[in-house]
């Protein structure tokens, strides 16, 4: 089995050094990699990014991350990513990476994603240019996720994971006000996941949401926002297998 540790929305500030490090140092005992599902900082400042970097450096397991909306707030996402990469993290945006742990090749495709809503209640590319760009940005994020998952499938990974900040499904938003669902995720992410195939989808962002969900294609979705899981990270288990195709949903992930 592949052991996936995951958490999002840790929102570390400048005074939070060492807050998660003791828990993270136990990762080699219980997990094969750590996924960080965005909103790693409070305001996206470089000082906060350095706090996160010190928390995740030299953990003994691979670390794969995406940024969240908070990590963009200071308008320096590229610099935030560079700081995290210098600490050894694989930080993804429309890209995939393959990490090897415990003899398994684990492919992770990542994007922050964006909003727009879900089937039947979603924004469309119509009207003002700013609305068109809103939806087009969501689509670009989803397209990058799909392409990355397909490429990982071609590489014959033992498991493929979709890592986002925004949610691909409404299931894991249950508990949030319905009025803000369009700002918490997009069905385009789920379409990308189901088209390319994945064993697990992990996201954050919805602090008042629900942990468990599923795409219409049968891929299990987990909301790992720290306020939802209530711990430093949660560990999920995936069976080891190889993918024969890059299309269609893969076997469901084990809990």
- Whether the pLDDT of residue 245 is over 70: the answer is no
- Whether the pLDDT of residue 242 is over 60: the answer is no
* 173 or 248, higher pLDDT: 173
Short-list 220, 212, 229, CA closest to 250: 220
Burial of residue 231 (number of CB atoms within 10 Å: 0-12, 13-18, 19+): exposed
Residue 119 CB coordination number (10 Å) = 11
Q: In 3-state terms, what secondary structure has residue 233?
A: coil
pLDDT of residue 124: 75
Q: Nearest 5°: phi and psi at 222?
A: -130, 125
Q: In 3-state terms, what secondary structure has residue 150?
A: helix
Asked if residue 80 lies in contact with residue 69, where contact means CB atoms within 8 angstroms, the answer is no
pLDDT of residue 14: 95
Short-list 204, 188, 185, 207, CA closest to 196: 188
End-to-end CA distance of the chain: 11
pLDDT of residue 121: 75
Mean pLDDT of 60-81: 98
Pull the structure tokens for residue 23: 């828990």
Q: What residues have CB less than 8 Å from 212, skipping those under 6 apart? A: 171, 172, 220, 221, 222, 223
Q: How large a percentage of the chain has pLDDT more than 90?
A: 86
Mean pLDDT of 59-71: 97
Altogether, the residues listed in the chain come to a count of 255
Mean pLDDT of the chain: 93
Q: In 3-state terms, what secondary structure has residue 176?
A: strand
- Whether the pLDDT of residue 36 is over 70: the answer is yes
Asked if residue 5 lies in contact with residue 30, where contact means CB atoms within 8 angstroms, the answer is yes
187-225 tens-digit pLDDT? 999 999 999 999 999 999 999 999 999 999 999 999 999
* Helix (H) or strand (E) run with residue 195 in it: helix 187-196
Strand arrangement of the beta sheet that strand 212-214 belongs to: 95-101, 104-111, 159-164, 200-203, 220-223, 212-214
pLDDT of residue 241: 66
- Whether the pLDDT of residue 28 is over 50: the answer is yes
113-157 tens-digit pLDDT? 999 999 877 777 777 888 899 899 999 999 999 999 999 999 989
- Its pTM stands at 0.93
Asked if residue 98 lies in contact with residue 152, where contact means CB atoms within 8 angstroms, the answer is yes
Q: Please give the C-alpha separations between residue 170 and each of 59, 72, 165, 213, in angstroms, as whole numbers.
A: 33, 24, 14, 8
* 118 or 243, higher pLDDT: 118
Q: What DSSP string describes 11-29?
A: -B-TT-TTSSHHHHTTHHH
């Amino acid at each position: 089995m592949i052991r996936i540790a995951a958490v999002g929305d840790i929102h570390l500030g400048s005074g939070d050094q060492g807050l998660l490090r003791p828990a993270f140092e136990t990762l080699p005992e219980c997990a094969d990699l750590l996924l960080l599902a965005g909103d790693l900082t409070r305001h996206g400042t470089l000082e906060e990014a350095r706090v996160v970097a010190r928390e995740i450096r030299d953990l003994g397991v691979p670390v794969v991350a995406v940024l969240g909306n908070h990590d963009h707030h200071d308008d320096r996402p590229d610099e935030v990513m560079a700081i995290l990469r210098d600490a050894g993290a694989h930080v993804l945006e429309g890209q995939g990476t393959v990490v090897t742990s415990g003899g398994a090749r684990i492919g992770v495709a990542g994007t922050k994603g964006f909003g727009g809503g879900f089937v039947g209640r979603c924004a469309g590319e119509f009207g003002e240019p700013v609305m068109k760009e809103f939806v087009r940005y969501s689509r670009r994020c989803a397209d990058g996720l799909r392409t990355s998952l397909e490429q990982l499938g071609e590489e014959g990974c033992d498991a493929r994971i979709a890592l986002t900040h925004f949610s691909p499904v409404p299931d894991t938003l249950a508990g949030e006000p319905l009025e803000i669902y369009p700002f918490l995720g997009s069905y385009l992410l789920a379409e990308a996941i189901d088209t390319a195939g994945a064993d697990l989808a992990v996201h954050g962002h919805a602090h008042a949401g629900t942990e468990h969900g599923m795409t219409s294609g049968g891929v299990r979705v987990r909301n790992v926002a720290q306020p939802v899981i209530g711990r430093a990270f949660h560990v999920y288990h995936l069976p080891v297998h190889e993918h024969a195709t890059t299309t269609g949903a893969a076997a469901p992930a084990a809990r």
